[in-house]
Amino acid sequence: MAVKLERIKGTRDLLPEEMAARRWVFERIREVFERYNFHEVLTPTFEYTTLFQLRSGEEVVEQLYAFEDKGGRKVSLRPDMTSSVARLYVNSFQNAPKPVKWYYIANMFRYEEPQSGRYREFWQAGVELLGSDRVEADAEVIALFVESYLNTGLRDFTVNIGDRVLLDEFARMLGVKDDVGLMRLIDKKDKLSREDFISALRDFGLTREGIDKVLSLIGIRGKPDEALPKAEELFTGRGAEEEIKRLYELVDLLDAYGVKDHVLVDLGIARGFDYYTSVVFEAMVPNDLGIGSVGGGGRYDNLISVFGGKPTPATGFAIGIERLIPILEWKGLLPEPKLRPDVYLIPIGDDPEVKRTTVGLVSSLRRADVRADYELKGRKLRKALEHAGRLGVPYVILIGRRDLTSGRVVVRDMETGEQKDVEVGAVVSFVRELLRG
């Protein structure tokens, strides 16, 4: 019995049309990353499992694709790039000039329940800026985040900014010990109905007053100029005061970058990763596809020292490619992929001389940067023309014994059916002229 070969749940096969669209998206993002002077790195797809476990207590750790290799090493596929980049930095770049500005475009693996925009293997394009604790570094990264989406043609999106220091402060204000638990709960606010959210807060142990405070916190959501003054009212402690001042500076810089219009403040954002220490942010696009955040990031000032490095502040983000692409497609922003050749050559008959001339011509065209192909299945003229027609090829070149004796071939315009005798030596420039016109 034949073995049934199935694709693993949560993974995808990407076909030529999709690959063409993806490459276009990657290029748009890469362009902006490079303009901001970030440099590309790539780390191994798998690492020692302990690397990811060092960030204990996270959802991502529970979702690891972990296994033992034949040498008995405990290894895991990377669930994101930040840990690997941090390892690389600690291993070899601690003494490099700061800041270190790296980017990556790579696949990640998480054992999650697949759903709209959620896969077990997915790609992220992201950056990490290591070695600056300044608000300028946060602004640089967030501006780049905004510009990356803009460069794909997307306009209708927001980058929502929250803050871990303020959430910690908030937990303290409420007298909550399990601050991580509270953050996780607050992070789920949009996934629950208001009633369910309130009853979850009650189950968590909050009093009426506490619940009201949480509701005012998550109500701080909107244009920075409106939201930040509300934050000043809600928070009283000194730590919070300084952090809010930092947010004002951040927003002011984002204004100078020219991206403030896309920025909202949303103090109810925590983002899943426990390693974030200050500003966190995520990109949202209103859509009917059931797709949540199309990217996210934040500042993580402790991770490098958790990995045994000298304390090094850092900030970064990751854009989710499997979410961005369907949104761009839905908005009609992806270019039509061109998967047909510009010219198709058909040798007529089985004459070796005709074949040699065909191959010679197809090669010359390709060297001249023309997308050219030829009849590799030996179909007869009529069938070969039908095939070229199905592919949607604009020009076909027919090479026959009789024409060759006079050193000529026939170039056919597939749209009009018009045919022209062209000298073999002039075919390349003739075709290039046609394609230019």
Contacting residues toward ligand AMP, per CB under 6 A = 80, 110, 112, 117-119, 122, 124, 271-272, 293-296, 318, 320, 322-323
Toward ligand AMP, which CB reaches closer, 55 or 323?
Answer: 323
Can you tell me the distance from the alpha carbon of 104 to that of 33, in angstroms, rounded to the nearest whole number? 9
Least distance from ligand AMP to the Cβ atom of residue 169, Å: 23
Least distance from ligand AMP to the Cβ atom of residue 278, Å: 15
The two three-digit tokens of residue 418, written as one number:
């018009």
The two three-digit tokens of residue 206, written as one number:
């909050």
Question: What phi and psi, each to the nearest 5 degrees, are found at residue 397?
Answer: -115, 125
DSSP alpha helices (H): ranges in 274-331? 303-306, 321-330
Cβ atoms 409, 397 nearer than 8 A: yes
Toward ligand AMP, which CB reaches closer, 80 or 169?
Answer: 80
The letter for the amino acid at 156 is: D
Least distance from ligand AMP to the Cβ atom of residue 320, Å: 2
Least distance from ligand AMP to the Cβ atom of residue 59, Å: 9
Question: What phi and psi, each to the nearest 5 degrees, are found at residue 25?
Answer: -65, -45
Can you tell me the distance from the alpha carbon of 215 to that of 197, in angstroms, rounded to the nearest whole number? 10
Least distance from ligand AMP to the Cβ atom of residue 422, Å: 51
The letter for the amino acid at 99 is: P
Toward ligand AMP, which CB reaches closer, 128 or 375?
Answer: 128
* Nearest-10 crossing angle of helices 179-187, 208-218: 50
Q: 191: exposed, middle or buried (C-beta count within 10 Å: 0-12, 13-18, 19+)?
A: exposed
Toward ligand AMP, which CB reaches closer, 174 or 294?
Answer: 294
Can you tell me the distance from the alpha carbon of 70 to that of 227, in angstroms, rounded to the nearest whole number? 55
Least distance from ligand AMP to the Cβ atom of residue 181, Å: 19
Toward ligand AMP, which CB reaches closer, 28 or 271?
Answer: 271
Can you tell me the distance from the alpha carbon of 58 to that of 79, in angstroms, rounded to the nearest whole number? 11
Angle, alpha carbons 59-64-70 (nearest 5°): 160
DSSP state of 69: -
The two three-digit tokens of residue 68, written as one number:
């033992």
Least distance from ligand AMP to the Cβ atom of residue 223, Å: 22
Toward ligand AMP, which CB reaches closer, 129 or 228?
Answer: 129
Least distance from ligand AMP to the Cβ atom of residue 290, Å: 12
DSSP state of 349: S
Toward ligand AMP, which CB reaches closer, 58 or 179?
Answer: 58
Least distance from ligand AMP to the Cβ atom of residue 194, Å: 24
DSSP state of 309: S
Of residues 29, 38, 251, 41, the one with CA closest to residue 138:
251
Distance from first CA to last CA of the chain, Å, rounded? 56
Question: What phi and psi, each to the nearest 5 degrees, are found at residue 209?
Answer: -65, -40
